[in-house]
Amino acid sequence: MKITILNGSPKGNESITMQYAKFVQKHFPDHEFIYHNISQKIKRIEKNKDIFDKIIADVESSDGVIWSAPVYTLFVPTQYMRFIELIHERDAVKAFKGKYATVITTSIHFYDHTAHRYMNAICDDLGMNYTGYFSAEMNDLLRSSGRNKLLIFSNNFFNSIENRTKPQKRFQPIVKKNFIFKPEKTLKRVDLKGKKVVVVTDNNDQESNTAKMIGKFLDSFTEPVELVNLREINIKGGCLGCLSCGYDNVCVYKDDFTSMYQSKILPADIVIIATELNLRNFSAKLKEFYDRRFFLNHRPEYKDKQYGVMVSGPIDQMPYMDDFFQGVVEWQNTNIVGIVRDESCDQDEINRGIQQLAENCISFSETGYCQPPTFLGVGGKKVFRDDIWGQLRSVCQADYRYYKNNGLFNFPQTKYKNRVFNSTIMLLTKIPGIRKKFYKKLNKVIYQPHKKIAETR
């Protein structure tokens, strides 16, 4: 069997993810493995059509394709997303049709599920027989249980190809609506009240709904608001994953990204993202913005900011997108003001949504409101806290210092009152009589303090 590996790590052969593919190859010597370092060579793939065509020819002559990539900012790396755009731009979709596909990622399990759903959608759109994913924790290959799981998974993948199984599709083709948004004249403009608002966009079409939504939003205020168009900034490429920034948050790139981020994003009170969804996601250009902010590693630079999104396109047919927009900042103690969409095709509703976004981001910013985080934020925060304290500490030293200085290593072990309470109760409830009484009165014990507050404060 011929298997093509499309490696999504910008580190190419010297990446963790690549070792998973090599390990599979070693244990299945009867199959032929062809490797392409997609993300590492993306600039050459873009410039030189022959290189792109060679990859596509390998896919076309393969029995199976392994999309193998690290999770980068809740999806896959910028460069990999750019390759997916190229497949469509260069009319190479048919090479993928009917091919058996699987996705292998490595990560620290922070929103690996959004990355996998996105890749599932990509495979379905390409007409591939997507057989499922393998989401490895980055160090799983070092554990015998991780290696065993990978081998069983790979064996199942090869069996699917051999037996020509027909997997069910998860995503139906996108249904596009031809709707043109008509911004209404703003009757009541919102006072900025000294708040710094920045709109970040990847928009490159002045006639698009995104451009019109941005125009309407900017027009909602009494004073000018900063607009950052990523297409107009000198950004040389996606994050390389080199982790040089781990010690002191300095990026190896010599372009204008860091200075833009430091001068426009960090000082802002309110950040609004405006984008259009195509090919199951926003553009690789906007992904570059999210990936390149990694020079700050896991520092919550959006802390206490207000965050909003204006999105054009079929977001409801991309169920992972809400998780992305919420998850990308919710772990930082950031208030999500709202996600305005044009999907309803209802002029009034969209106009009102934009006006409300403008009003709410200022009023929430003034009161310092941040809604309590959901599981997306609470869970994400704990993944980072544990990994920065543990396996990432020596690499992400700037994170470690920041988390330590800001009391973010708030493990339950340090809550001594809880520990004493728990130990005492656990000891006492070993006695059947006390146990019976404790569980009988449990609800009262739990809600009583809340009742007291509700009555007295």
Ligand X SMILES: Cc1cc2nc3c(=O)[nH]c(=O)nc-3n(C[C@H](O)[C@H](O)[C@H](O)COP(=O)(O)O)c2cc1C
Instruction: State the residues that interact with ligand X by CB under 6 A.
Output: 9, 11, 15-17, 70-74, 106-112, 138, 239, 241, 291, 294
Please, which residue, 24 or 71, has the CB nearer to ligand X?
71
CB of 354: closest distance to ligand X in angstroms?
Answer: 29
CB of 388: closest distance to ligand X in angstroms?
Answer: 12
Please, which residue, 397 or 429, has the CB nearer to ligand X?
397
Please, which residue, 72 or 364, has the CB nearer to ligand X?
72
What does the alpha-carbon distance between residue 18 and residue 21 come to, in Å, rounded to a whole number? 5
Write the Ramachandran bin of 172: left for phi over 0, alpha for psi from -120 to 50, otherwise beta.
beta
CB of 273: closest distance to ligand X in angstroms?
Answer: 17
CB of 430: closest distance to ligand X in angstroms?
Answer: 41
Q: Which residues contact 160 (CB under 8 A, 6 or more apart)?
A: 100, 129, 131, 167
CB of 410: closest distance to ligand X in angstroms?
Answer: 21
What does the alpha-carbon distance between residue 228 and residue 256 come to, in Å, rounded to a whole number? 12
CB of 399: closest distance to ligand X in angstroms?
Answer: 12
Please, which residue, 57 or 250, has the CB nearer to ligand X?
250
CB of 234: closest distance to ligand X in angstroms?
Answer: 19
CB of 126: closest distance to ligand X in angstroms?
Answer: 23
Please, which residue, 2 or 236, has the CB nearer to ligand X?
236
Inter-CA distances, 125 with 87, 119, 167, 181, 318, Å: 11, 10, 14, 27, 12
CB of 136: closest distance to ligand X in angstroms?
Answer: 8
Please, which residue, 92 or 408, has the CB nearer to ligand X?
408
Beta bridge partners of 67: 6, 103
Please, which residue, 242 or 425, has the CB nearer to ligand X?
242
Please, which residue, 45 or 239, has the CB nearer to ligand X?
239
Please, which residue, 375 or 416, has the CB nearer to ligand X?
375
How many CB atoms within 10 Å of residue 189? 13
CB of 175: closest distance to ligand X in angstroms?
Answer: 29
Please, which residue, 110 or 157, has the CB nearer to ligand X?
110
Inter-CA distances, 454 with 69, 443, 451, Å: 50, 16, 5
Please, which residue, 110 or 171, has the CB nearer to ligand X?
110
CB of 181: closest distance to ligand X in angstroms?
Answer: 31
